[in-house]
Structure 1
Amino acid sequence: MALHGDLFSYPLPEFLQWLDSSRKTGTLQLSWEAGERKLFLLSGQVGATAAEGLRGRVARLLTLSKLASGTKVLAGFDELARTPDVDAAFDIHGIQARWIRDLGREELFAAMTDLTIAGRGTFHWTEDADRSGEDWVPSDMGIRELLFESLRWVDEQPDVDKALPIDALSVRALAPPSPSQPLMHRIILGLCTSPQNLGRLRLSMGVSRSSVTRRVHELLRSKLVEVDGAPQVEADPVAEMLEKGAVLMREGQYDAAGIVCASLLASDPADRRVREFARLVQREHVAALYSDMPPLMVPLMIHDPQGQALLKPEERQIAGLVNGTWDVSTLVLASPARELETLKTLAKLQRMGLLQLVFPR
């Protein structure tokens, strides 16, 4: 099945939500004034992105930052034609594959932000996910993460533009780059050891203005750079907590990320960034639980009165629904609790040795 359209009639965030909810596999091609971008999807995951000259830009960025040799980066990309293992392809040449993925993700966040703000362009969707012959870079992220992060960039772009309104501003690093910092922060700090004009910095890096200005704004907020003529930028506690929550989610610490969401929602339930992040965490947590407990598997309770006595009343109620016949999906529908809470309870019962999963008869 193929779909064509324009991003004015069918806004990009809505189209991404449709692709996510239907867990699509295929290729999304986006075209606008800035060029063309392709996203390669596998069951709702963005495995890679492609654009003209993208691999060369990644190699140049890592060379400029002195993190890797551009020749070796390009050799790693050539290796991808012989092996599907991204880590192995770059390990052979002494390159950290996570740097390549980070820059692929950065390209996507910036492109989705620019397209959402512009509200122009066209899309073409096909269920053919063939990457051969494309200038592709791995990104490995869920559509939900891409959607949340790009909408967060869109919401915060006015603050970035207010602090960095023109390209003539001069940026100077106040601290050296550190391995503990995000990759784009390390690259910018390395390039700005002596003052750099913001416009020249952007052109030398070869990336979107929205990407460079956002990262400079984050460094300005963290007091790691100074920008001549820029107003004083105070830390945004909500943005900082959302960034920490996103790290927790990527590490699979969904309960901890949920706590971050709960505290932010309690303080400002109207903040769209917070609401979107809360939905993202819940969906990713549910997806992770289903991967450990497939919907068609049948739970069986193991008789252990002492263990069951440790359960909370609401957990015992869910445990009481386990009858050896209903599968996980049926139990979720029958449970009075929300889907996430039901799955968490089943996972807890499994960890406690009170429940085992068997294949349906």
Structure 2
Amino acid sequence: MALHGDFSSFPLPELLQWLDSSRKTGTLQLLSWEGGERKLFLLSGQVLAMAHEGLWGRTARVLSLSRLADAAGVMAAFKALPPGGEELESLFRAHKVDPKHVRELVREELFGSMVDQTRGGHGAFHWTEDLDRGGEEWAPCEMSLRELLFESLRWVDEQPDVDRALPGDALTVRARVQPSPRQPLMHRILLTLCAGGQNLGRLRLSLGMSRSATTRRVFELLRARHVEVEGAPEVVVDPVTDMLEKGAVLVREGQYDAAELVCSSLLASDPADRRVREFARMVQSEHVAALYAELPPLSVPVLVPDPEAQSLLKPEERQVVGNINGTWDVSTLVLASSARELDTLKTLAKLARMGLLQLR
């Protein structure tokens, strides 16, 4: 199935939401009159890779400028990429390139592109179920559409604060701390490039990134007091923004229960905030996806008799146990349960951890 349209009639956030909820597999081609063309390769609602003209050269230049890899080695690794993306880890490492750095830079490119496209609101898209990457300058990404949607909308909502703090390209950014492997990759890169002071406009051109993407990361460093920007006003930390960023880190680390606690606190304090609502959807979507990886939808749960252990279960968990008949698969149990999809899956995962459940 192919689908064409423009962002004036089908806004980008709504398009991403549709592709995510439908768990689509294929290629999304985005055409912007200013930003050129980008392609997102999706597998069941997950972004596997992105293609964009000049992506290889820009990634190689940034890693080289920040002294994280040799530019020639990065280009050699990209040119050797197989069309299907097999054995990426060993291929990059053979050229002395950390694949994690490549993925992080591609994620950065993707976030910036989505933000610029959402704010601009004009352009067109083409969707096809063809996943062919042949002939494209593509690089691996591995990110859910829900995370992409949440992060890009959060950037859009917070961009006015960034613009107020960094109103012009003539501002000079100077690092106050040394780059560290514990920091996010873009923070490390920016701190390296700004060690002796760097004009914001030149910094953006060196990285080959849009202004909104560059200023976003500089703003984060400014807020953390890791850089100083001559002439910039003092940045006051927004507690909601701070909690959302920490919650997003918890999700990336797979700590979904902790992220849900952050989410509950934020929803109780400000349920009308779009960033909070999107974060809640993202946490639930990512947790469900992780549980389905642990409990394949077509696998059939079989109970292991243990009355003593079952007596420790909560009443709502016993209701889920009552539906397990050795015939229904996980997806059928989810549909038959009166509990939410997430709660049912969490109960099944708990039963498996307790040794009360086997999958066949």
| Fold conserved between structures, TM > 0.5 | yes
Q: Percent identity?
A: 69
CA contact (8 A) 1:170 1:198 kept: yes
CA distance in 1, matches of 2:323, 2:203: 61
| Correspondence for 1:30 | 30
Q: Deviations over 1:66-117 (max 9, x none)?
A: 1111111111112213862221111001111000000000000000000000
| Correspondence for 2:58 | 57
Q: CA deviation at 1:293?
A: 1.7
Q: CA deviation at 1:281?
A: 0.9
Q: CA deviation at 1:320?
A: 2.0
Say whether 1:237 aligns with 2:236: no
| Correspondence for 1:190 | 192
CA distance in 2, matches of 1:229, 1:87: 43
Q: Deviations over 1:304-338 (max 9, x none)?
A: 11111211222122212222333322322232221
Gap regions ≥5 residues in structure 1: none
CA distance in 2, matches of 1:322, 1:67: 52
Moved more, 239-248 or 118-127: 239-248
| Correspondence for 1:282 | 284
Q: CA deviation at 1:238?
A: 1.8
Matches within 5 A, 1:27-106: 27-32=27-32, 33-81=34-82, 84-106=86-108
Q: CA deviation at 1:339?
A: 1.3
Gap regions ≥5 residues in structure 2: none
Q: Deviations over 1:130-185 (max 9, x none)?
A: 11111111111111111111111111111101111111111111111111111111
| Correspondence for 1:124 | 126
CA distance in 2, matches of 1:173, 1:149: 25
- Provide TM-score, normalisation by structure 2: 0.96
**Partner-residue secondary structure (3-state), 2:301:** strand
| Correspondence for 1:293 | 295
CA distance in 2, matches of 1:125, 1:324: 40
| Correspondence for 1:110 | 112
| Correspondence for 1:8 | 8
CA distance in 2, matches of 1:10, 1:30: 12
**Partner-residue secondary structure (3-state), 2:96:** coil
CA RMSD of aligned residues (A): 1.4
Moved more, 286-295 or 24-33: 286-295
CA distance in 2, matches of 1:220, 1:104: 23
- Provide TM-score, normalisation by structure 1: 0.96
| Structure 1 residue ranges, 4+ long, deviating more than 3 angstroms after superposition | none
Matches within 5 A, 1:154-173: 154-173=156-175
- Number of residue equivalences: 358
Q: Deviations over 1:24-72 (max 9, x none)?
A: 1211111111211111112211111111111100000011111111111
Matches within 5 A, 1:135-154: 135-154=137-156
CA contact (8 A) 1:77 1:89 kept: no
Residues 330 and 26 (structure 1), Cα distance of their counterparts in 2 relative to 1, 3 Å cut: closer
Give the residue type in structure 1 aligned to 2:326.
Answer: G
CA distance in 1, matches of 2:333, 2:82: 45
| Correspondence for 2:208 | 206
CA distance in 1, matches of 2:29, 2:332: 38
